[in-house]
Structure 1
Amino acid sequence: MVYVDTADITWLNTGESARRLGITPRTLYRFIDDGKVPAYRFGRVIRLKESEVAQFIEECRIAPGTLDISALEPEESEPVTPKSAT
């Protein structure tokens, strides 16, 4: 068995972690399941390390000059005209 000193670890529950990330708990669970955010199960309880949540936030940082704004804007389409009742 490996001994890990957890005295210096600050644990967050999923609600607090989701709040800090600005996402819903459901999205957080998806991120955990996809392996994007590390999480730990203690019995029926899931916890995340505060330091790993902060690291995930930094990894999501957009580097200057790399954002393709055109991909974020909706395409302009023809105006929708209602069908006439017949």
Structure 2
Amino acid sequence: MDIRQASDYLGISPDTLYKYASEAFVPAFKLGNRWRFKKSRLDEWMDRQSGIPVEVEVAAVKPRQKKPVRSTGRTEPRTRIARS
């Protein structure tokens, strides 16, 4: 996003956002002589600013279940037979 799009997204003036970007208060980078912003980085930054732990959101995603192990029908552990 450019500075105008990002300022609309954040609900602040472009002048304020320019100041925040130049002070490295918000995540931004310069492409040539223009400031650019990634929406995903701004979302993460807003979560951190509002006190929402990022780990909680990641933990909410359920891990994939492993496939069940098929039984071999044996009840005793396998033992190695020594050959001579």
Q: What TM-score results when the alignment is normalised by the length of structure 1?
A: 0.52
Match of 2:10 in 1: 21
CA contact (8 A) 2:27 2:45 kept: no
Tell me the SS of whatever aligns to 1:54.
helix
Deviations 1:60-79 (A, max 9, x none): 2157xxxxxxxxxxxxxxxx
Matching of residue 61 in structure 1 with residue 21 in structure 2? no
The structure, 1 or 2, with the larger RCO (C-alpha pairs under 8 Å, 6+ apart) is 1
CA RMSD of the aligned region, Å?
1.6
What is the percent sequence identity of the aligned residues? 27
Match of 2:36 among 18, 22, 47: 47
For residues 14 and 29 of structure 2, the distance between their equivalents in structure 1, rounded to whole angstroms, comes to 15
Deviation readout 1:32-69 (Å, 9 max, x if unpaired):
12211121211132211111111121122157xxxxxx
Aligned pair partner of 2:23 in 25, 34, 47: 34
Post-superposition, which runs of at least 4 consecutive aligned residues in structure 1 deviate over 2 A?
Answer: none
Aligned partner of 1:57: which letter?
A: M
Radius of gyration: which is bigger? Answer: 2
In structure 1, stretches of 5+ residues that fail to align are 1-11, 64-86
| Higher strand residue share | 1
One-letter amino acid of the structure 2 residue matched with residue 41 of structure 1: K
